């Protein structure tokens, strides 16, 4: 760690990380003993299960629904067994299942034969994903991206994938480095993934594998035209977290919003379900070289950014540990935070600067995801534009990695193309004019910013100690995060959690554990 501008105590930072390990350990023990319907469906997808029935039920859902209590043994063995018993290709088997074949009634063949076939299928999946990783890395290298500049992140949200393509390509030509396709309202609560291209989303577009493929192709086309690799983002959260991770790995997405706490607190998804799902989804993302973006910024939509800043920092530490436990290196951890101080707060800018600089110093290798002001946007577009200037200035000065561009019309409507253009212009102006500002300034010893950061770090440690004493699940129930309480056995999706049988089998999970160096680690 380089010299701290904030004069942070390294022993306190180490203590925060030790507390995070203690907090995550019992959660990881629970995770290791359980699977979920979403994990089994994701595994089937990575082995080749695809398609839908005449009633639009996805084939992975058909299989998992038919398994019932047999799910504790893992869905993979039944799917691979059917391939062997029926002597079918994957495409033929998928069609047969969609037409009504119940593979769960077939007598299981010799396990050695199932394992041999599994190795073949997992190898095919792994080869495709590794090709995606190599292609991404080669394009980024060829495009010679500038270092030490935040990547500019813009959203599209028309509800129609074909209209999204038009807006995404325009945004890329305007200067965006990252395009996020906002997911349709409420999709996180669907316990299945819709199939095919879609044109009727609300407030966003359905996350489907075909939509991923369409947008990936469109961004590659415009990227090749302008000589830049355009990164694609979607939302790997909710009840289908592992499945969307699998789809993203296959279709070469580059970033995923991937945070179980967001689903628990803001979508009332059962905490046991989503923490188990998160582990497997992050393993898939790690293997695919996909940057995860966490959702700590959302805490500040319900909590005061000044009074509860420590909850964001504590969650970042916990999220970091969960990410390490899933095989994610620091370079893939887009830990989240936000510029959300009340603009009427005296010295609020200094507190924002202290918080952003502290995040940078605590997580020096992470491509931090910095969110623009939203909570106090009023519809006054001129004041909103000024707030975004201050946000961009802090982002560059503290070397944030992923800069979600603020819109002057944030409180009015989904942004028009010209709003995004102005957002890019704003950020480019600040970034260019403050290129080396961060390396040319020092923070006043015992000044406002140093004292603020040290105060928040102390509060973070006290908060982590409280969570460790209570346990993470009880802490969530007692509304320690975002002032929202969620019951441990309530919420959506708990019925989809299954305890693993002693002979549970998941060849993709086993493969990823070895590839990511996780075998017997936790």
Catalytic residues: 262, 297, 369
Size (the chain), residues = 522
Q: Beginning with the edge strand found earlier in the chain, give each strand of the sheet holding 178-181 in spatial order.
A: 333-334, 291-293, 255-257, 231-235, 178-181, 151-156, 402-404, 369-371, 336-338
Residues 206-223 as b/e (b if ≥16 CB within 10 A, e otherwise) read bbbbbbbbbbbebbbebb
What CA–CA distance (Å, rounded) separates 229 from 221?
10
CB count within 10 Å of CB 110 equals: 10
Tokens at residue 137, please?
Answer: 């890395």
| H-run or E-run covering 151 | strand 151-156
Do the Cβ atoms of 234 and 257 come closer than 8 Å?
Answer: yes
Beta bridge partners of 180: 155, 233
**How far apart (Å, rounded) are the C-alpha atoms in residues 400 and 378?**
26
Residue 8 CB neighbour total at 10 angstroms: 19
Answer for the pair 317, 335: CB distance below 8 angstroms, yes or no: no
- Alpha-carbon span 472 to 466, nearest angstrom: 9
d(CA 184, CA 297): 20
- Beta strands at 402-404 and 369-371: parallel, antiparallel or unpaired: parallel
**CA–CA separation, 334 vs 295, rounded Å?**
9
Q: Which residues pair with 155 in a beta bridge?
A: 180
Phi, then psi, of 87 in degrees rounded to 5: 50, 50
In contact, 315 and 297? CB cutoff 8 Å:
no
Angle at 117 between CA 114 and CA 120, to 5 degrees: 150
| DSSP H or E stretch at residue 404 | strand 402-404
């Amino acid at each position: 760690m380089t010299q701290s501008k904030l004069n942070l105590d390294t022993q306190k930072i180490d203590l925060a990380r030790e507390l995070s390990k203690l907090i995550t350990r019992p959660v990881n023990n629970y995770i290791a003993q359980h699977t979920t319907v979403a994990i089994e469906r994701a595994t089937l997808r990575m082995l080749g299960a695809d398609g839908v029935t005449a009633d639009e039920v996805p084939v992975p859902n058909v299989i998992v629904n038919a398994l019932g209590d047999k799910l504790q043994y893992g869905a993979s063995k039944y799917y691979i067994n059917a391939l062997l018993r029926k002597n079918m290709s994957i495409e033929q088997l998928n069609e047969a299942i969609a037409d009504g074949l119940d593979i769960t009634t077939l007598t299981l063949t010799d396990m050695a034969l199932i394992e041999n076939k599994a190795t073949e299928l997992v190898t095919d999946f792994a080869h495709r994903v590794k090709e995606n990783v190599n292609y991404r890395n080669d394009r980024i290298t060829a495009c010679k991206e500038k270092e030490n500049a935040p990547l500019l992140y813009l959203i599209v949200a028309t509800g129609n994938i074909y209209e999204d393509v038009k807006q995404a390509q325009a945004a890329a030509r305007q200067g965006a480095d990252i395009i996020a396709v906002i997911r349709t309202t409420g999709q996180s609560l669907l316990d299945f993934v819709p199939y095919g291209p879609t044109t009727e989303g609300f407030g966003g577009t359905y996350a489907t594998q075909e939509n991923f493929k369409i947008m990936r192709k469109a961004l590659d086309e415009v990227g090749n035209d302008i000589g830049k690799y355009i990164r694609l983002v979607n939302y790997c959260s909710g009840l289908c977290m592992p499945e969307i991770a699998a789809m993203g790995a296959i279709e070469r997405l580059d970033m995923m919003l991937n945070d179980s706490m967001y689903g628990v607190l803001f979508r009332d998804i059962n905490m046991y379900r989503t923490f188990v799902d998160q582990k497997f989804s992050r393993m898939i993302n790690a293997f695919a070289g996909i940057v995860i973006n966490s959702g700590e910024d959302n805490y500040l939509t319900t909590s005061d950014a000044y009074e509860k800043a420590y909850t964001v920092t504590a969650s970042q530490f916990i999220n970091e540990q969960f990410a390490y436990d899933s095989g994610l290196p620091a370079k893939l951890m887009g830990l989240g935070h936000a510029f959300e101080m009340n603009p009427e707060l005296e010295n609020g800018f200094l507190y924002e600067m202290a918080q952003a600089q502290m995040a940078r110093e605590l997580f020096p290798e992470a491509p931090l995801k910095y969110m623009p002001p939203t909570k106090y946007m009023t519809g006054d577009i001129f004041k909103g534009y000024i707030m975004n200037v201050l946000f961009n200035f802090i982002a560059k000065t503290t070397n944030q990695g992923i800069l979600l561009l603020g819109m002057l019309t944030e409180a009015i409507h989904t942004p028009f193309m010209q709003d995004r253009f102005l957002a890019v212009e704003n950020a480019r102006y600040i970034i260019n004019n403050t290129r080396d500002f961060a390396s040319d300034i020092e923070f006043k010893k015992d000044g406002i910013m140093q004292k603020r950061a040290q105060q928040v770090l102390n509060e973070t440690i006290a908060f982590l100690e409280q969570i460790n004493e209570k346990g993470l699940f009880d802490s969530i129930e007692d509304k320690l995060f975002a002032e929202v309480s969620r019951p441990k056995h309530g919420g959506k999706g708990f019925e989809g959690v299954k305890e693993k049988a002693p002979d549970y089998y998941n060849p993709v999970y086993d493969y990823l554990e070895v590839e990511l160096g996780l075998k017997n680690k936790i």
